[in-house]
Structure 1
Amino acid sequence: MMKNHNKSLLALVLLGMLGLSACGSDGKDGANGAPGTPGAPGTPGTDGQNGTDAGSVVSTVYKAGDVTISIDPAGSTIAGNGVFALKFTATAKNQAGQVKPLTGISEIRLMSATAVTNATHDGPAVYWQNNGVAAGNGTSMYCTLTGTRGSSNACTITEDPATPGSYTGTWAHDGAAPIMNATDDLNAPHRIGVRITNLTDADGNKLPDYVWSNMTYVPATGEVGVASGKDTVANQACMNCHGENPATGGIAAPIGHRNQNVENCVLCHTPALQPNADDAAKGYVFDLPAMIHRIHGGEHLAKLSTYGFKQTAEWAEIPYPAPLDQCTVCHSTEEGKTSWETPNRAACSGCHSNIDWATGEGHSEFNLAQADDSQCAACHSTGALAPINAHKVGKRAEVAGLLTVDFTSATKAASTTPGNQDVTIKANVTFNGAPLADVTTLNVLNKVSTLIGNVNNKGEVTRWGTRPNLNAGTAAAGVLTLTATVTDAQATGTIYVGTEANFCVSSDEKIVACTESDLMYNSDDPVGATSTVKFFDLDGNTAVAARFADPVRITVSEAKCNACHTSLDYIKGNRHGVYKFDQCMDCHNNNYAGSYHPDTQILTLGKNAEGNIEVQSAAAGSATFHNRDLVTVAHRFHSGNMNSNTTEVAGVFLDNTGELHGYPAPSSDCSVCHKDGAKLFAEDGGLTSGKRSIAVTGGYISPVAESCRSCHTSGAALAHFKSNGATTDDAPDSTADLPIESCSTCHAQGKSYGIDKFHIMK
């Protein structure tokens, strides 16, 4: 039986429902009632851990670079023989990008090193000493909530409940904390490294990158940010080739241990970290200067094994993309950071691994034995044998000016051959610093070619099939005159004129024939001539610059190429003598299919009986190519899709597991080459360059899809390109007037599936 008050409630509910479904007879709303009395504030939500307001702290992290760790030197005793004490704060960004205290840290790892002024004749003037190792302990110590880690003692980490994100560490065990070195010099620069080891994201996944922070300071004074005297290589120098990890802001692939920061690496890789006899015999070294030299010596040192050079099997496949002797590719030239110019045996042995210092074998033709480093400066501090001079640092750029070719004009006149024109080109030329007086002087050049072709109103170029060599004209008083006989169609509108010349240089810095002896640069690495591509209009109109010479239409930076390669002349100089994109354009343009590298080999690797990695078999890749456009060629080469007829582990290539070898950065890091902030797509969905087709054998294809296909070579990718309107290599069109495929609809930067979502772009 229903009680009366329940019947009343039911009646009210039914009445309310009827009232909602029928507005009444007059259709008017009633007057608003007076505002009610505000209710009492609700109880603030908490983070479920220490009672702080939800949202005022964070306990999970989305990427390692969002974390900041700040050690308080005044509240810490982490050096010398005092009572260990650690005080630090930690913050991190939340999903909205706001910086909040980072709460809930339960484990950290601490490392300590001192920049020691060397009082001996063995080693560099200043070196890093790991204080844990110096104290007879390991390289580091841990701090945990319990003061133990497994069966080992640890410091006890405590978070201040009144100040979330503020932590202290104490040592409650017998003896000194492992990184406390009683003989430490507290007036010397110290570096403290802190790594949080247990952070997860909001889904409970452990972060794939280490969360590192370091501080350089003087314990005796508490001064922070001091110069160590040992930081001769900046992180940016490494990132020029290896790329930047967007999650950490540190060095990307393939840095070991995910430390991603030179300042962190030196905490372990000190002179005290020496290989055992077996590892040393294999060619391993672990002190950072020597190790980095040996690693970057890579395949170069491996190929010199018959001359006694040592290289490990692990590092023997590494191709270095710059001249190995150009120290400043990595080392700083800033005042106070040039201690690398003072040699010592350990660092030099990284590359000069054929030297036996005890016997002197390999140390010059005199086999000079060296018991210590006391005599290094006698020969190698100044003069020709100083590292910066012996390695010819920057010398290539200096001697490039021994041959200058400055094109000044191009005019045309009717030829004696019907349908042709004679195009006369003039240039001011200097040879070994003097105006060119006799054209036959140029016969000693290693390569004497010129680059000449047409430029249409879109800035696209078409090379001439035949061009006069530099030594094919006449010269007087420094003026070189060349003549080219071309068709009437070619002798119309704008042409470009440049050089593809290179030369050998003697030890006394003169251009000489490559057959001479005692050469500074020989035919294996000739120097490209200094010459800027010029544009002239043969009809007297304003010349049109090629898009390769227009910074607005170039999304790749030559400076970024040179930061890794030192100069494009080094990479292509031995064959071409070119060092600028507007020289490369003569062959690598969208109107000239020319020669190309159609096939790609996928290598299966294994180890031989000696433990060295070798190619066991090679199979054809999943795609072929029929163009040499610069974008496609550059993408293909750096992604390992251009290695044909490969029989050894060298260069840039893909293996059968899909791993990319020989390329130092993540293959998805576009910012290693592309300009910061570059927009790859134009407003119409085509490329920023304005290129709208690429010539291939048999016709023309779409440039956007072909740019992507140079890395994305699967059959599924090809089908995807076609479904978005691309004209592809397997079915080229007979016309260059192609529609723009719809790739940018989804993949332009900023779109839901934009390339910036799946590639690293700045």
Structure 2
Amino acid sequence: MRKYNKTLLTAAFIAAFGLAGCGSDGSDGADGADGVNGVDGTDGSDGANATLSVTTVEDAAEFTLTIAPTDIVVVGTDDFSFTFTATGEGTGGATMPFSGLEKVQLYVTSQSENTTDTGAPNIWTSHIYANDFVSDNAMYCTLTGTVTTRAGVEVEACTLVEDTANPGTYTGTWEHDGNAPTVLTDGDANDLVRVMLRAYNVVDADGTSISDKLLSTPIDFIPATGELAVSEKDSVSNAACIKCHSSLDGYADTDMRIANIDAHHNYQKVENCVACHNPAMAADEDYADFGYNISFNAMIHTLHAGEHIADSLTGEAAELFGEIAFPSALNECTTCHDNGTQWNDNVYEEACVSCHVDVDLDTGENHNGIVPSSDAVCSGCHGAGSLSPVEAHKVGLRDNVAEGLVFDFTSAVATATADPLVSTLTVTANVTLNGAAMPDGTDLSAYMTSTSRGFLIGNLSEDGAVTRGLGMSVLTDAVSLSGGVLTVAADFDASRLVGPIYVTAEVQVCAENDMIVMCTTDDDGNIEQLGVANSAPVKYFNLTDADAAEVISRFDDPARITVTEAKCNSCHGSLTYVKGTHGVTEFTQCMDCHNENTGSSGHPVQYKSVDADGNATWVTADDITFSQRDLFAVSHRFHSGLWDATRGDPAIYRDESGELHGYPAVETNCTECHNDGESLFADDGGLTSGKRAIKVSTTEELYISPVAEACRSCHAHSDAAALAHFKSNGATVEGTPDTTADLPVESCATCHAEGKTYGIDTVHSSVAH
């Protein structure tokens, strides 16, 4: 694990120093003998044009490939040709022609109506597959008209020529027998065609190859008219993927690109994937042993369902997909399908069995014995009603019943008892069930997925710090339910029942058909309904002085919390799903357990070690310990793989070399969770939350500094040098706590605040290179 710590620390400094690159105006006149700018070497007459071009860029986002529908032949009998432009960022950020390309790759795919009874209503056809020209899944264009493929085979390519009079403008022609394989001779010119382009061998000013793929923005158009078009099949937007996978920096909002997809080192856009992952490629016998259908819709379903269907996966699918844990409810189709209702309206085998892998439609197994004659009949049962995807998958049900069970707290009062050391806390709440006052005598336990949950109550300091411990059960502590008003009461240490308190609730109940219903179980004892959280807006009361100014928790103060539930839910869909049987939807519910005064952590740090035979074991990193579970630390640790396997294999983990597995976003992209543009440091150099100490013991008053712990809970710096660095900057760290919460503010912000040379906004840049 020490190797991992040092690697991350080194990576941070590499990121800090590695972002200083700027655009280059290339190596004008590199040929020397041909004149000042080295274009034609005769009289330099073209040199003026050449000085306006660049031959290097510092980053993929500085390089742009552009092709217009009218500049390419894709169907019919005309000879193939296409024209495109390449631009790069020059000195001062100016956009300039990019000169010197020697190799590009062209992907052309048509979308046509499916005239068979099998598959989607519209299908993609890769032109090179239709023409039996399989060369790395696309056609190359080079200066010589030939190319050596990744398999080491020399094949024909189109011939690439740059316009010397207009640097950065290129044409490609086919100089071999027949027409280019990207042209469908019998293709329908009225079908939508998608074209994208990839460039190779582009370098920066130091001669280092640009690491990210250099791809054009895909264009969809109708060849017959040259007009741009919109695909009917694109039911998943790039924005939907970016919610979990992050976006590549440097690209315009209108050209959003996906940052963190491992496959093929990232093809950046959903539209790019179908150039290869289409029915023609999936039918290739070379993929029969993969264990999954390689056509895009089927593959993506199987991939994201990975952990849920791991026992049914074989071959490469088991190896690549078996550990993928979808961060939202798997049946919440709109997590990904955010662009139309095609996913619900078009029902066919390929899409369905890629998730429902235990269904065999040839035999009727796990399909009530029904063997459909073709995909055309599927809509007979699944086209509408309770068996349609939107209904059968309960899509949006949690949102639909968000106000199904509501606790509206109206009072909290402390009263003395005969014992001067004990007082009684009585809390009342108006309760509605499915929009109506809860009837007298309702047995709430019949609706609950777990009867251990109830009211979450605790003390607040004047600065909004939380101390839990006054919670009550909505069942065993209930006094009465009358007229829709629930009263609960319990005895506590009298010293706790003073001053400001918070009250909320954590109750998960069963939902079906947009209603809260009584729970039922199947033969295995599993609850059959979907678990949804109650609504319980946090309320604040002062047990000593009801007229005192209200004190609110830092978790409920927008000025002091840098994360919102909306950020979490953009990937998770609902915090209720994340927390299992907990009825949690808001941080004000999380705060009851996860705050700076809960000095405990039930999770050791473990990483996965795999031996030469592929056998995996979980190894505890004894030199990395945590003794607190504030929400920021738990979130950092879980999402950065510093978690344990004692409660089941974690979805996100580190291997013994320190590599992170299972986290879908760019690891250093803080804004994946934190609000965009949010400052994480306060003016005094402490955390924006106002938290200035964290308790690390349940039995003693022992505290550590929060800024260093915020960093450590993600990076897990544990070597002596890192800890010494924290201490030298005023931090009290894990292992050497202080006995007071009155700790000095660390000086971390001096170097690491936003805008500083080594600010977290710089060293944690989300650029995925």
**For the superposition of Structure 1 and Structure 2, which TM-score range results when normalised by the shorter chain?**
0.7 to 0.9
Q: In the alignment, which residue of structure 1 is the partner of 2:413?
A: 411
Asked if structure 2 preserves the Cα contact closer than 8 Å seen for 1:141 and 1:154, the reply is yes
Structure 1 CA distance, aligned partners of 2:286 and 2:336? 30
Asked if structure 1 preserves the Cα contact closer than 8 Å seen for 2:49 and 2:165, the reply is no
Match of 1:546 among 532, 546, 553: 553
Amino acid at match of 1:143: C
From the superposition, tell whether residues 647 and 275 of structure 1 become closer, same or farther in structure 2 (CA, over 3 Å). farther
The DSSP-based 3-state class of the residue aligned with 2:654 is strand
From the superposition, tell whether residues 287 and 513 of structure 1 become closer, same or farther in structure 2 (CA, over 3 Å). closer
* Matches for 1:710-725 after TM superposition, within 5 Å: 710-713=713-716, 714-715=718-719, 716-725=721-730
The DSSP-based 3-state class of the residue aligned with 1:604 is strand
Q: In the alignment, which residue of structure 1 is the partner of 2:301?
A: 293
The DSSP-based 3-state class of the residue aligned with 2:244 is helix
The C-alpha deviation readout for 1:60-102, integer Å capped at 9, x for no partner, is 1111122222213223223333211111122222253221121
Q: Which moved more, 1:67-76 or 1:472-481?
A: 67-76
Structure 2 CA distance, aligned partners of 1:672 and 1:199? 30
From the superposition, tell whether residues 48 and 408 of structure 1 become closer, same or farther in structure 2 (CA, over 3 Å). farther
Asked if structure 1 preserves the Cα contact closer than 8 Å seen for 2:49 and 2:167, the reply is no
The DSSP-based 3-state class of the residue aligned with 1:711 is helix
Amino acid at match of 1:721: F
Deviation at 1:200, TM superposition (A): 0.8
Corresponding position: 1:737 with 2:735: no
Deviation at 1:47, TM superposition (A): 4.8
Q: In the alignment, which residue of structure 2 is the partner of 1:499?
A: 505
Structure 2 CA distance, aligned partners of 1:599 and 1:342? 47
Deviation at 1:129, TM superposition (A): 1.0
Deviation at 1:425, TM superposition (A): 1.9
Structure 2 CA distance, aligned partners of 1:168 and 1:385? 53
Structure 1 CA distance, aligned partners of 2:337 and 2:612? 34
The C-alpha deviation readout for 1:735-755, integer Å capped at 9, x for no partner, is 111111111111111111111
Q: In the alignment, which residue of structure 1 is the partner of 2:640?
A: 639
Asked if structure 1 preserves the Cα contact closer than 8 Å seen for 2:290 and 2:315, the reply is no
The DSSP-based 3-state class of the residue aligned with 1:193 is strand
The DSSP-based 3-state class of the residue aligned with 1:325 is coil
Deviation at 1:470, TM superposition (A): 5.2
Corresponding position: 1:140 with 2:168: no
Structure 2 CA distance, aligned partners of 1:533 and 1:303? 42
The DSSP-based 3-state class of the residue aligned with 2:79 is coil
Q: In the alignment, which residue of structure 1 is the partner of 2:271?
A: 263
Corresponding position: 1:236 with 2:239: yes
Asked if structure 1 preserves the Cα contact closer than 8 Å seen for 2:538 and 2:588, the reply is yes
Structure 1 CA distance, aligned partners of 2:760 and 2:345? 43
Structure 2 CA distance, aligned partners of 1:515 and 1:340? 28
Q: In the alignment, which residue of structure 1 is the partner of 2:592?
A: 586
Match of 1:108 among 104, 109, 112: 104
Structure 2 CA distance, aligned partners of 1:467 and 1:545? 20
Amino acid at match of 1:147: G
Deviation at 1:355, TM superposition (A): 2.4
The DSSP-based 3-state class of the residue aligned with 2:271 is helix
Q: In the alignment, which residue of structure 1 is the partner of 2:63?
A: 67
The C-alpha deviation readout for 1:91-117, integer Å capped at 9, x for no partner, is 222253221121212211000011111
Q: In the alignment, which residue of structure 2 is the partner of 1:9?
A: none
Deviation at 1:331, TM superposition (A): 0.3
The C-alpha deviation readout for 1:380-434, integer Å capped at 9, x for no partner, is 1101111111111011232343321111222344444324443332211023443
From the superposition, tell whether residues 281 and 111 of structure 1 become closer, same or farther in structure 2 (CA, over 3 Å). closer
* Matches for 1:647-658 after TM superposition, within 5 Å: 650-658=650-658
Structure 1 CA distance, aligned partners of 2:609 and 2:384? 48
Query: Any unmatched runs of 5+ in structure 2?
Result: 1-34, 41-46, 149-153
Bigger Rg, structure 1 or 2? 1
Q: Which moved more, 1:690-699 or 1:613-622?
A: 613-622
Structure 1 CA distance, aligned partners of 2:670 and 2:473? 38
Structure 2 CA distance, aligned partners of 1:757 and 1:508? 46
Q: In the alignment, which residue of structure 2 is the partner of 1:358?
A: 362
From the superposition, tell whether residues 333 and 164 of structure 1 become closer, same or farther in structure 2 (CA, over 3 Å). closer
From the superposition, tell whether residues 519 and 185 of structure 1 become closer, same or farther in structure 2 (CA, over 3 Å). farther
Q: Which moved more, 1:250-259 or 1:576-585?
A: 250-259
Amino acid at match of 1:216: D
The DSSP-based 3-state class of the residue aligned with 1:272 is helix
Amino acid at match of 1:84: F
* Matches for 1:114-133 after TM superposition, within 5 Å: 114-133=110-129
Amino acid at match of 1:144: T
Amino acid at match of 1:82: D
The DSSP-based 3-state class of the residue aligned with 1:96 is helix
Asked if structure 2 preserves the Cα contact closer than 8 Å seen for 1:230 and 1:339, the reply is no
The DSSP-based 3-state class of the residue aligned with 2:227 is coil
Amino acid at match of 2:348: N
Asked if structure 2 preserves the Cα contact closer than 8 Å seen for 1:502 and 1:527, the reply is yes
Asked if structure 2 preserves the Cα contact closer than 8 Å seen for 1:118 and 1:127, the reply is yes
Structure 1 CA distance, aligned partners of 2:470 and 2:425? 14
Structure 2 CA distance, aligned partners of 1:630 and 1:597? 14
Identity %: 43
Q: In the alignment, which residue of structure 2 is the partner of 1:398?
A: 400
Amino acid at match of 1:464: G
Structure 1 CA distance, aligned partners of 2:666 and 2:578? 21
Amino acid at match of 2:670: C
Q: In the alignment, which residue of structure 2 is the partner of 1:13?
A: none
Asked if structure 2 preserves the Cα contact closer than 8 Å seen for 1:496 and 1:535, the reply is yes
Amino acid at match of 2:384: T
From the superposition, tell whether residues 219 and 275 of structure 1 become closer, same or farther in structure 2 (CA, over 3 Å). closer
Asked if structure 2 preserves the Cα contact closer than 8 Å seen for 1:91 and 1:102, the reply is yes
Deviation at 1:460, TM superposition (A): 1.2
Calculate the TM-score normalised by the size of structure 2. Answer: 0.86
Structure 2 CA distance, aligned partners of 1:390 and 1:443? 26
Q: In the alignment, which residue of structure 2 is the partner of 1:216?
A: 220
Structure 2 CA distance, aligned partners of 1:722 and 1:668? 24
Asked if structure 2 preserves the Cα contact closer than 8 Å seen for 1:506 and 1:519, the reply is no
Corresponding position: 1:88 with 2:84: yes
Corresponding position: 1:328 with 2:330: no
Query: Any unmatched runs of 5+ in structure 1?
Result: 1-44
The DSSP-based 3-state class of the residue aligned with 2:321 is coil
Amino acid at match of 1:291: M
From the superposition, tell whether residues 46 and 727 of structure 1 become closer, same or farther in structure 2 (CA, over 3 Å). farther
Structure 1 CA distance, aligned partners of 2:163 and 2:521? 76
The C-alpha deviation readout for 1:217-243, integer Å capped at 9, x for no partner, is 11111112x111011101111111111
Amino acid at match of 2:575: L
Match of 1:342 among 329, 346, 350: 346
Corresponding position: 1:195 with 2:198: yes
Amino acid at match of 2:297: P
From the superposition, tell whether residues 253 and 126 of structure 1 become closer, same or farther in structure 2 (CA, over 3 Å). same
The DSSP-based 3-state class of the residue aligned with 1:674 is coil
* Matches for 1:502-581 after TM superposition, within 5 Å: 502-505=508-511, 509-513=515-519, 515=521, 522=528, 526-538=531-543, 539=545, 540-574=547-581, 576-581=582-587
From the superposition, tell whether residues 645 and 287 of structure 1 become closer, same or farther in structure 2 (CA, over 3 Å). same
Structure 1 CA distance, aligned partners of 2:432 and 2:611? 53
Structure 2 CA distance, aligned partners of 1:534 and 1:614? 51
Relative contact order, CA 8 A, sep 6+: which one is greater? 2
The C-alpha deviation readout for 1:503-557, integer Å capped at 9, x for no partner, is 234679442145577999548x632212211122331222122111112211123
Q: Which moved more, 1:502-511 or 1:543-552?
A: 502-511
Structure 2 CA distance, aligned partners of 1:593 and 1:473? 32
From the superposition, tell whether residues 64 and 439 of structure 1 become closer, same or farther in structure 2 (CA, over 3 Å). farther
Amino acid at match of 1:460: A
Structure 1 CA distance, aligned partners of 2:186 and 2:663? 44
Deviation at 1:119, TM superposition (A): 1.4
From the superposition, tell whether residues 425 and 623 of structure 1 become closer, same or farther in structure 2 (CA, over 3 Å). same
Structure 2 CA distance, aligned partners of 1:466 and 1:550? 22
Q: In the alignment, which residue of structure 1 is the partner of 2:52?
A: 56
From the superposition, tell whether residues 198 and 310 of structure 1 become closer, same or farther in structure 2 (CA, over 3 Å). closer
Structure 2 CA distance, aligned partners of 1:518 and 1:348? 25
Structure 2 CA distance, aligned partners of 1:544 and 1:630? 20
Structure 2 CA distance, aligned partners of 1:204 and 1:683? 43
From the superposition, tell whether residues 562 and 689 of structure 1 become closer, same or farther in structure 2 (CA, over 3 Å). same
Amino acid at match of 2:260: A
Deviation at 1:247, TM superposition (A): 5.7
Q: In the alignment, which residue of structure 2 is the partner of 1:753?
A: 758
